[in-house]
Chain A
Amino acid sequence: MSMRRTAGRAATLALVLGAGAALAETPNLGRPVSEADIAAWDISILPDGQGLPAGNGTAAQGKTVYAEQCAACHGDNGRGGILGSVVGAPPIDRIEATKTIANFWGYPTTVFDFIRRAMPATQPRTLSADQVYALVAYIFAENKLIGEADVMSAETLPKVKMPNRDNFIIRFPDRI
């Protein structure tokens, strides 16, 4: 950057500040990109279903994926694993009660989002969309949240009603 240009920018900045405008000059060093460039990183799934990929799966398909990818930590058939069961809804009768998908999680989309981004723990983001849909279908069916034959997809998954959805209190509403 030349001295002249620097001086010019400084003068502009001074003018802007002097005028009390909110548009103070900032460096603008970010490289513009398109959403398409970001697609591989954009794995957020919102509770209304935004971000869910194409694909689908059933509990029967999920049972196989589960046995291969999940059972070692989460137990046979989703029960009793060393890192927690994914099936079961013990009562929430204590402040230290075990939080499970069926007794606590408020949104079905969270299950898809978390499996896809973080599971299997040692090899996250290696499952296909169909495999994740199948796993969600299997876990939901085992928890009796959907029927055995129900297909999970971007269309059907966000509509699953989680039993505990309405039991949350926003701690400080004025901070939102």
Chain B
Amino acid sequence: MGSKRSRHGLENAPIVAGNGLIDRRALLGRGVLLAGAMGTGGALTGAAAEPLTDAPWSLEQGAVLPTYQVASRFEKPVARTLSNPKNEPRTSHARTPHHLLAGTITPNGLHFTICHQGGTPDIDPDKHRLVIHGMVKQPLVFTLDTLARYPMTTRITFLECGGNSAPMFSPVPLQESVQALHGLASCAEWTGVKLSVLLEEAGVDPAAKWLIAEGADVSGLSRSTPLKKAMDDAMVALYQNGERLMPGNGYPMRLLLPGYEGNMNVKYLRRIKLTDQPQMSYYETRTYSQLLPGGKAYRFYFLQEVKSFITQPSHGMALKEPGYYEISGIAYSGAGRIAKVTVSADGGTSWAEAALQTPVLPKAFTRFRMPWRWDGAPAVLQSRAWDESGAVQPTRAEFVALRGETKTPPNVLGFPNQHYNSITSWGVGPKGEVKHVYA
């Protein structure tokens, strides 16, 4: 392939928005042409290239196959970050490294975890019990073995902490990675028993309006959920991406409420009580009730609203040279499918529609991609998502006008407030360095 032709192709790539955003359709038909243009770079003769030789691993016996394999030793940075590595008596968080992942399914070892009190319980699955009682005809007790015999239902859905993205309530952009800012969201394929099946077997009293779910962890973590949601798409999840739940994600069983605040998806689920009123538990009336400017507070927020953020490139990365890059990120909404994601490279002055990886599933991570030619000048990258209910991700200005921001920059590990879903902006400097900015 001649350089002239390749360069011609790149220069003719259809630019659809400011600062070098290329029509997303280039990812399909014209992608080969663009890739060819980049591959040739400046050195066309190959005269300066090193001769290729066999590396040691090509000449030696490899390692024994492990019974349960883990990532290559070269992938050590692909890890969760821990907020409480010494398991002190406070909440522990482990955040997903979005900037080092490229899919929509979070590998089980990298799924985010929060344990509010006492770390991860060590539950013997044979001794674990789930009881359903309260406003039912017949209270019932289930073992893991009996639940595993039920018809299984499966869905791919995200879970997100109500406090994810909370550092963005800061009045100035905290210089932190996408993992620190948005790492308390993950997505997995969950398999288990439809909760409505179990509730109907127990016989729901028509006057019941709520269920109280409780975990077998040391805090007996407890949350109330409207029965309406329980009868819609709730599940008692037994499997996570095909294997049993991870200990940090609720082993051996958890409540799954697709699209609803992570804390409501009670882990280590051991008790469901049907009632005519919410419990007004600590976590629903204190921790996960959000103060508003002026002193009122939201209660029962439940919904994780439409959000997106760019994962590559993102804060802490560096673009090595001008040229072609793929902007990629994830979008999701607790209200349903992602309908559209747009991307800007000029701080929101102009936008272009990103390609969505299929299938686009309701209440699941949807990966978006946008081809981009960086010309070496400063740029500000943003993404903005719409969901099928018509909800749109707010700009930061729109968001803080309603919800406020903190007076001073908060600790990045703190939760000054919750349910933050506005646009994230990454500034690209003249040397290619990527920083968190507000735009």
**Chain A residues near B (Cβ < 8 Å):** 26-35, 37-38, 41-48, 73, 83, 92-97, 99, 104-107, 109-110, 113-114, 117-118, 121-122, 124-125, 167-172, 175-176
Contacts and interface: CB of A to CB of B under 8 A. Distances in A.
Given A99-B286, A118-B117, A33 B139 contact: yes
B298 A168 contact: yes
A16 B327 CA distance: 53
B417 interface: yes
Nearest to B303: A172
A9 to B, nearest CB: 14
The 6 A-B pairs at the shortest CB distance, nearest first, are namely A30-B140, A96-B416, A29-B146, A117-B220, A114-B282, A168-B299
Contact of A26 (B132, B201, B220, B404): B201
B350 interface: no
A162 B393 CA distance: 36
Contacts of A43: 214, 220
Interface string B210-246: 0010100011101000101100000000000000000
A46 B405 contact: no
Contacts of A109: 280
Interface residues of B, number: 68
Contacts of B201: 26, 28, 30
Contact of A96 (B142, B197, B278, B291): B291
B285 A105 contact: yes
B333 to A, nearest CB: 14
Interface stretch (B10-18, B26-34, B38-46, B268-276): B268-276
B226 A46 contact: no
A44 B222 contact: yes
A107 B302 contact: no
Contacts, number: 179
Interface in B278-301: 278-282, 285-287, 289-293, 295-301
Contact of A95 (B270, B287, B405): B405
21 contacts: A26-B197, A26-B201, A27-B146, A29-B142, A29-B149, A32-B140, A42-B273, A95-B292, A97-B291, A99-B291, A104-B286, A107-B285, A113-B281, A113-B282, A118-B117, A121-B89, A169-B297, A169-B298, A171-B301, A175-B302, A176-B228
Contacts of A175: 226, 228-229, 300, 302-303
Q: Which of A29, A32, A73, A92 has the most CB of B within 10 A?
A: A29
Given A34-B139, A47-B280, A95-B405, A169 B146 contact: no
A98 to B, nearest CB: 10
Interface string B401-419: 0011111001000001100
A94 B407 contact: yes
Interface of B: 89-90, 117-118, 131-133, 138-142, 146-147, 149-151, 169, 197-198, 200-202, 209, 212, 214, 218-220, 222, 226, 228-229, 270-271, 273, 275, 277-282, 285-287, 289-293, 295-303, 403-407, 410, 416-417
Contacts of B229: 175
Given A105-B286, A118-B117, 16 more contacts: A29-B142, A29-B147, A30-B202, A35-B139, A38-B133, A38-B139, A41-B270, A43-B220, A83-B89, A92-B291, A93-B295, A94-B404, A94-B406, A118-B220, A124-B219, A172-B300
B200 to A, nearest CB: 7
Contacts of B141: 30-31, 33, 37
Contacts of A30: 132, 140-142, 146, 198, 201-202
Given A167-B297, A175-B226, A118 B417 contact: no
Contacts of A31: 140-142
A44 B286 contact: no
